[in-house]
Amino acid sequence: MQVFNTPAEWAAIRLQFQSKNPSIGLVPTMGALHEGHLGLVTQCIKKSGVSVVSIFVNPTQFNNPEDFEKYPNSLQEDLDLLEKAGVDYVFVPEVKTMYPQETNLKIDFGSLERVLEGAFRPGHFNGVGIIVSKLFHMIQPDLAFFGQKDLQQVAIIKRMVNDLSFPIQLEIVSTRRETDGLALSSRNRRLSPSEREKALILYQSMVLAKKELLEGKSWFEVQQTIQREFEKTEGVDLEYFELVETDQFELFTDFDPQKKNSICVAAYVGEVRLIDNLPVIS
């Protein structure tokens, strides 16, 4: 495994295998890797001739500076995991490499970014769009791998790839969970043991909501039930619990079994903000 830090280094590396023209797969990450990331890496290695993982904590997608400061940093541990997994190359740039000057460009994803994560984290998806675009231009992958856990981010990146005609095939990998259902997340490292237990309500509430929807209850009834469940859980503050059209993130006021829809949730467990989603009809 080879670590590189600049686009110029990558250009020199590509010259070594350019004549063989292998497919290049990219897994963009912010480090603090877990089994969910490694699931993306496994698919990248399986489907690509050359595997590249980027590790960069992108400051422009944090609307809360404190959240950025507290984001876990475990670079050496991450590199050890990636080497063990069999990754070919790891891109670890500095901030000045990715942002040599302030980026004035703003990407507006329309209604797709004005709900849920976009509404609660203003500017977040602009930061995501900018950094992913930069990585796509620098690495020039043929395939790029993203996790379904960040469902709205997936929708945003699909929109960007289509609208800007990136010649990249997106591969979306299913959410990885602990045996008790908690979605794997780098933020889980910040949970105390008691908070870790309380965090299970996110997944449990979605499972309950899906069950009740499929049994014929209205979305209004389901939301009321879930709201009460969260109110009974001390130390957990529900931010949103919504039913959306899976691709365009249109908010549904009721369940339509003829359309693709997913339940999305965000909540603070102590000081840690967690998100999750569950398809109802895929």
Could you tell me the two tokens for 63?
Answer: 């609307």
Compute CA distances 55 → 1, 33, 39, 100, whole Å.
Answer: 14, 9, 16, 18
Every domain of the chain with CATH number 3.30.1300.10 lies at 186-276
Could you tell me the two tokens for 212?
Answer: 């009740």
- The CATH code for residues 186-276 is 3.30.1300.10
Residue 61 annotated in ligand binding: yes
Residue 258 annotated in ligand binding: no
Tens of pLDDT along the chain (282 residues) come to 999 999 999 999 999 988 888 999 999 999 999 999 999 999 999 999 999 999 999 999 998 888 888 888 899 999 999 999 999 999 999 999 999 998 899 999 999 999 999 999 999 999 999 999 999 999 999 999 999 999 999 999 999 999 999 999 999 999 999 999 999 999 999 999 999 999 999 999 999 999 999 999 999 999 999 999 999 999 999 999 999 999 999 999 999 999 999 999 999 999 999 999 999 988
DSSP state of 101: S
Every domain of the chain with CATH number 3.40.50.620 lies at 2-173
pLDDT attached to residue 70: 82
Residues with a catalytic annotation lie at: 37
Handedness of CA 172, 155, 249, 240 (dihedral sign): positive
**CATH class belonging to 2-173:** alpha beta
* 10-39 as b/e: b if 16+ CB within 10 A: beebeeeeeeeeeebbbbbbbbbbbebbbb
What's the CA gap between 90 and 79, in Å, rounded?
8
Residue 118 annotated in ligand binding: no
Listing DSSP states for 236-251 in one string gives EEEEEEEEEETTT-PB
pLDDT attached to residue 245: 95
Cβ atoms of 26 and 145 within 8 Å: the answer is yes
pLDDT attached to residue 18: 80
Cβ atoms of 53 and 80 within 8 Å: the answer is no
Residue 237 annotated in ligand binding: no
Q: Which residue has the tokens 């620098």?
A: 138
Whole-prediction pTM: 0.95
Residue 147 annotated in ligand binding: yes
Residue 153 annotated in ligand binding: yes
264 beta partners: 242, 277
